Amino acid sequence: EFGLQANSAGVGSGAIISSDGIVVTNNHVVTGAALLRVYVPGSDDPVNAKVLGVSECSDLAVIDLEGDGYTALPFRTEPVTTGLPIFAAGYPASDASTIEEVDFTLTRGIVSNLTASGETNWASVDSVLEHDARIRGGNSGGPLVDEDGRIVGFNYAGLDASDQNYA
């Protein structure tokens, strides 16, 4: 299941990977946050969460939602290939006046490069997936999924000018 998280550090997306509330997102989404509030589909109220661990170099974070009984997304076990149809899920930045008004988006594309450079000013990943499913600020940490809804990667950066997106 997809969710939106809001905190003092920023706004981003994430993916629930276990029914007991374990979520993967980006480190740059949670860095500096004293309190995480996560909006989970089907609930009008945010759920509190705590950071379990982060990797600054990989720009990944694992957080734990209060409670359990969440719907988790599975991971793709087959190899990812160039040309694989994928979807970027998340809650991108918008003109919404409040966090509660940000809408879920799903954009479609393909994996265009399996070993793109993962260098950004906030992370240093040896290689990442480049894809053309449009992402924007707020999509950070959201899942990149295949046609069966299985996690292929976690979106973390994009270049608007060249429409290159990275997971």
CB count in 10 Å sphere of residue 31: 16
Q: What does the longest C-alpha to C-alpha distance in the chain come to?
A: 41
State the Cα–Cα distance between residues 157 and 167, nearest whole angstrom.
Answer: 7
Nearest to 158 by CA among 14, 75, 141: 141
Tokens representing 156 are 């973390």
List the catalytic residues: 28, 59, 140
Given the DSSP bridges, would you call strands 157-159 and 85-90 parallel, antiparallel or unpaired?
Answer: unpaired
